[in-house]
């Protein structure tokens, strides 16, 4: 792996992978975590249906997401005017769709534990729903960060959707996972293996971070 550390093509692929996945996770967390907190503190008609839908979307096949986005972004699609197909932006959107249900479900489960401890106290203080959301998000910040890292691990390993909407274009939309697919098909096993080892190393770092955060909560 070390001989590729000065290879600009290798560096470009790794940096793009990190850029796309980190941006997707950040946007997803901004959407999913407050929404999960809202689901925890608020009871309303249709809430259970939303929860079921979120749990169902956790298993959404990435290639289906890729196909759906491709149809929307292609020349005949309703979003074709934005010219996002075969760009990093399309890859970010695909990853957001894939990981948002996962982070939402994990965050809801984590925040329910915190809210069960604070519900009576927050109610006695006459906190508004927004104040309750802010409080449990803050109190559950380490668990939420763990959920975000889990989402990052899922995003980094994605290949099906991003190869459809990104096109695996050299110097533009090639990530570690799509690069591994291409280099393997070409018979360039050395480069593919190094990309795989890099992805494995990043996944290891993510898991170490998750384990450390969980230990800090105990």
Tens digit of pLDDT at every position of the chain (218 positions): 555 666 788 889 999 999 999 999 999 999 999 999 999 999 889 999 999 999 999 988 999 999 999 999 998 888 988 999 999 999 999 999 999 999 999 999 999 988 888 888 888 888 888 999 999 999 888 889 889 988 998 999 899 899 999 999 988 999 999 999 888 988 888 888 888 899 889 888 888 887 887 777 66
How many domains does the structure of the chain reveal?
1
Handedness of CA 55, 26, 212, 197 (dihedral sign): positive
**Where in 46-201 does DSSP place strands (E)?**
none
What 3-state DSSP class applies to 218?
Answer: coil
- Domain span holding position 9: 2-217
CATH of the domain at 55: 1.10.3720.10
8 A C-beta contact, residue 94 and residue 66: yes
CB-based contacts of 178, cutoff 8 Å, min separation 6: 159, 162, 163, 166, 168
**CA distance to 23, 102, 139, 143, 213, per residue, from 206 (Å):** 16, 16, 22, 14, 11
pLDDT digit string (tens) for 45-80?
A: 999 999 999 999 998 899 999 999 999 999 888 898
């Amino acid at each position: 792996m070390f001989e590729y550390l000065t290879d600009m093509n290798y560096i470009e692929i790794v940096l793009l992978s990190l850029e796309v996945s980190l941006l997707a996770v950040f946007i997803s967390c901004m959407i999913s975590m407050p929404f999960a907190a809202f689901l925890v503190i608020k009871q309303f008609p249709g809430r259970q249906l939303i929860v079921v839908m979120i749990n169902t979307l956790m298993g959404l096949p990435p290639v289906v997401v890729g196909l759906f986005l491709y149809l929307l972004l292609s020349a005949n699609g309703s979003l074709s005017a934005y010219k996002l197909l075969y760009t990093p932006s399309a890859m970010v959107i695909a990853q957001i769709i894939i990981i948002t249900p996962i982070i939402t479900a994990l965050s809801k489960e984590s925040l329910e534990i915190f809210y069960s401890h604070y519900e009576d106290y927050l109610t006695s203080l006459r906190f508004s729903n927004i104040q309750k959301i802010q409080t449990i998000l803050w109190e559950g910040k380490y668990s939420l960060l763990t959920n975000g890292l889990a989402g990052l691990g899922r995003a980094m390993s994605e290949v099906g959707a991003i190869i459809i909407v990104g096109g695996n274009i050299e110097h533009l939309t090639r990530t570690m996972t799509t690069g591994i697919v291409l280099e393997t098909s070409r018979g360039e096993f050395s480069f593919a293996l190094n990309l795989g080892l890099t992805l494995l190393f990043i996944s290891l770092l993510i898991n170490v971070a998750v384990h450390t955060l969980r230990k800090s909560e105990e």
